[in-house]
Homo-oligomer: A and B are copies of this chain.
Amino acid sequence: MPKKIAPQFIVHPKTVIEDASAAEKPLSSGDKEKDRAEAARLAAAIGEQQQMLYAGRKHKVLVILQGMDTSGKDGTVNDVFASVNPQGIRIANFKAPTAIELAHDYLWRIHEQVPVAGEIAVFNRSHYEDVLITRVHDWIDDKECKRRYRQINDFERMLAETGTVVLKLFLHISKDEQKARLQSRIDDPNKHWKFAPQDLAERKFWDSYQKVYQNTLHATSTPHAPWYVVPADSKPHRNLVVANIVLETLQKLKLKYPDPKPELKKLKFD
């Protein structure tokens, strides 16, 4: 049994969110091409696992992606799940809530999108925005924030107990790396569409975000729904980390195709 890679990235009581760790590359071979090939191999293996997940219609898999603007949430979806049959995966993007969403509890629109048996659902942002941006801007106070931590833990525990594997990934970039990525969105006309002036406004709250992220990861990383911190300054390395975590999580389910039906062999038809 090869040593597991994922556990080293799980949030633990001493986890600190600071710029320095965003650039770490513990999984890199030092050779970019080799790393790319390995990430592609992992993506293919995830695709194979998902076929069995889909055939079995038993487990549900929920992958939650969080991170600062430009941290690579879209890119991760694109790269890591490239080989997955689109029929068995669904990406849910959670933007600013609509009026009808705001008129419900904040978990309402989240629960609606949880995966069905046999499916992988990837949340690009999630209910965690309701304890992140809201807390950074003091739209909620500490007491309400802690209440939401409890509500979120209860909710995710229920999902886990009813057959959903919940996997939460924080894509961790440094402030300098964000600067470079924002600049490239301005410099490259083909990336203009990705640039939102709002991102610059939020960037002013960088330190506050790091602190609130850290608090949130500590309060909501649980055995049934652990948080992983993914060093994400390097995109190829980020893909390696995410792909390993996703693949190892799927492998733990010991997925296989449902039992063959010998009686099928006897069927005759023209």
Contact = CB atoms under 8 A, between A and B. Distances in A.
A108 interface: yes
A268 to B, nearest CB: 30
Q: Residue among A57, A104, A151 with the most chain B CB within 10 A?
A: A104
Contact of A116 (B100, B106, B159): B100
A54 to B, nearest CB: 12
A114 B103 contact: no
A178 B258 CA distance: 45
A104 B118 CA distance: 10
A106 B60 CA distance: 14
A158 B111 contact: no
A158 B107 CA distance: 9
Range, interface on chain A: 20 to 34
A188 interface: no
A153 to B, nearest CB: 9
Nearest to A117: B103
A108 B62 CA distance: 15
Contacts of A117: 103-104
A8 interface: no
A257 interface: no
A49 interface: no
A161 interface: yes
A164 interface: yes
Given A111-B108, A117-B103, A151 B147 contact: no
Contacts of A106: 162
A108 B103 CA distance: 18
B163 A158 contact: no
A206 interface: no
B154 A105 contact: no
Contacts of A94: none
A112 interface: yes
A107 B155 CA distance: 10
A258 to B, nearest CB: 15
Contacts of A111: 107-108, 111-112
30 contacts: A57-B103, A60-B104, A100-B116, A103-B116, A103-B117, A103-B118, A104-B114, A104-B116, A105-B114, A105-B158, A105-B162, A105-B163, A105-B164, A106-B162, A107-B111, A107-B158, A108-B111, A108-B112, A108-B114, A111-B111, A111-B112, A151-B157, A151-B158, A151-B161, A154-B154, A154-B155, A154-B157, A154-B158, A155-B155, A155-B158
